[in-house]
């Protein structure tokens, strides 16, 4: 069944996204929600393929994305999860709610893989580990991908089931979403990994994620101003968003005529936040999003990571996990102890 690629159209733009394009895309999604990517290029006038739009949204513009350096804890999470799940970046990313799979993948390939390799060669001689793409899991053995996945999933399902059966609904204190060390809920484990992606849209997202989105936009605008002082003169040949010419400086109050975006909700919710200073990430948070209309809030609840805070349980950790987390426990305190205690409660069951 020959499927033609989505990007085979002539005139499709490739390469880095411009701030104008970002704004157009975010503006559109603000009004229509993520999804139906096929129609995005035609409705916005963006000279991008639908896939590119989706990718740009999920990897960069989507609310709740944290960028920049990975914390020590995040590193350990990645190392651990990679050992556990293999190169299933989406699944790994689901345990790091603020990171995209692409980010994690890049970070793994550029930092962690090398570091582990170095570490491994340092202690070489006492191991017969297969490398497994950076090889960090001692017990891995040559297995087919599917077999390996299946094994992992069965293991996780067992853990989840065990958790559900052995623990009552012990209320658990979780850190805020903005903490780096969210722990998976039992729901996410049950859903994970195969159904995880599908459940993303169902899991309500913390309202505070909106701040991060505003931050993303603010950042891109900032970069835009930095890189091209004359960028306001740039135009998109097919589509000029009302905010395009005023983004950054006067956009906070400007509500020029919308050509294809009659609703100005976006301008309010995003750019009004950027009014006097560039650091919106500090000023926008739950309170701000509380003022959003249901549509606006639900929009940014749509395509996000699963809500790892959801539910009241976390998944038992293996000894390896314990080892990986124990260092983080020293720095992050009580939330990690939650997992350790669960580990103890389920140790030896499997």
Partner DNA sequence: AAACAAGCCAACCGCATGTTC
Partner DNA sequence: AGAACATGCGGTTGGCTTGTT
Identity of the residue, 25 or 186, whose beta carbon is nearer to DNA in the bound complex: 25
Half-sphere exposure of 10 (CA within 13 A, CB side): 0
Cβ 192 to DNA, closest distance in Å? 10
Identity of the residue, 254 or 310, whose beta carbon is nearer to DNA in the bound complex: 310
Name 146's Cβ contacts closer than 8 Å, sequence gap at least 6: none
The phi and psi torsions of 217 (rounded to 5 degrees) equal -65, -45
Cβ 69 to DNA, closest distance in Å? 8
Q: Which of 96, 160, 196, 211 binds DNA (CB under 7 A)?
A: 196
Identity of the residue, 133 or 279, whose beta carbon is nearer to DNA in the bound complex: 133
Cβ burial of 58 (10 Å; 0-12, 13-18, 19+) is middle
Identity of the residue, 133 or 326, whose beta carbon is nearer to DNA in the bound complex: 133
Query: Does 319 help bind DNA (rule: CB under 7 A)?
Result: no
Q: Which of 99, 181, 200, 332 binds DNA (CB under 7 A)?
A: 200
Of 31-39, 72-80, 287-295, 336-344, which segment contacts DNA by CB under 7 A? 31-39
Query: Does 106 help bind DNA (rule: CB under 7 A)?
Result: yes
Instruction: Show the site string, 252-291: x = touches DNA by CB under 7 A, - = not.
Output: ----------------------------------------
Of 102-110, 230-238, 258-266, 334-342, which segment contacts DNA by CB under 7 A? 102-110
Identity of the residue, 86 or 316, whose beta carbon is nearer to DNA in the bound complex: 86
d(CA 302, CA 210): 12
d(CA 99, CA 74): 9
Query: Does 133 help bind DNA (rule: CB under 7 A)?
Result: yes
Contact 335, 308 (CB under 8 A): no
Q: How far is CA 148 from CA 84, 88, 155, 236, 339, in A?
A: 10, 11, 11, 48, 25
Give how many residues touch DNA by CB under 7 A.
50
Query: Does 128 help bind DNA (rule: CB under 7 A)?
Result: no
Of 6-14, 260-268, 292-300, 334-342, which segment contacts DNA by CB under 7 A? 6-14
Contact 71, 99 (CB under 8 A): no
Instruction: Show the site string, 54-93: x = touches DNA by CB under 7 A, - = not.
Output: xxx-xxx------x-------------------xxxxx--
Identity of the residue, 33 or 311, whose beta carbon is nearer to DNA in the bound complex: 33
- Contact residues toward DNA (CB under 7 A) are 1-7, 13-17, 35-38, 48, 50-52, 54-56, 58-60, 67, 87-91, 101-103, 105-107, 109-111, 114, 133, 194, 196-198, 200-201, 303
């Amino acid at each position: 069944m020959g499927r033609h690629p989505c990007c085979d159209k002539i005139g499709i733009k490739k390469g880095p996204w411009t701030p104008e394009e970002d704004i157009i895309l975010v503006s559109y999604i603000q009004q229509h929600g993520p999804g139906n990517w096929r129609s995005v290029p035609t409705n916005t006038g963006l000279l991008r393929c639908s896939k590119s739009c989706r990718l740009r949204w999920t990897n960069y513009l989507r609310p709740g994305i944290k960028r920049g350096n990975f914390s020590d804890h995040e590193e350990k999470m990645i190392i651990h999860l990679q050992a556990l799940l293999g190169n299933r970046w989406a699944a790994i990313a689901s345990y790091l709610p603020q990171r995209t799979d692409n980010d994690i993948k890049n970070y793994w390939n550029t930092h962690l893989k090398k570091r582990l390799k170095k570490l491994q060669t340092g202690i070489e001689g006492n191991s017969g580990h297969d490398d497994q793409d950076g090889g960090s899991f001692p017990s891995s053995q040559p297995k087919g991908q599917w077999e390996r996945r299946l094994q992992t999933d069965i293991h996780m399902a067992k853990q989840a089931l065990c958790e559900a059966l052995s623990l009552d609904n012990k209320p658990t204190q979780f850190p805020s979403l903005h903490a780096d060390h969210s722990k998976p809920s039992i729901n996410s484990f049950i859903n994970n990994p195969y159904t995880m992606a599908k459940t993303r849209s169902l899991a309500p997202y913390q309202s505070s994620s909106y701040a991060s989105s505003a931050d993303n936009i603010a950042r891109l605008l900032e970069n835009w101003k930095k890189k091209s002082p004359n960028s306001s003169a740039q135009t998109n040949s097919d589509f000029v968003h009302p905010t395009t010419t005023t983004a950054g400086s006067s956009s906070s109050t400007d509500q020029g005529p919308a050509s294809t975006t009659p609703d100005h909700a976006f301008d309010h919710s995003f750019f009004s936040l950027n009014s006097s200073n560039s650091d919106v990430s500090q000023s926008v948070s739950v309170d701000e999003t509380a003022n959003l209309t249901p549509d606006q809030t639900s929009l940014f609840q749509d395509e996000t990571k699963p809500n790892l805070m959801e539910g009241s349980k976390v998944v038992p950790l293996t000894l390896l996990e314990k080892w990986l987390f124990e260092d983080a426990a020293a720095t992050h305190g009580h939330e990690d102890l939650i997992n350790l205690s669960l580990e103890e409660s389920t140790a030896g069951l499997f």
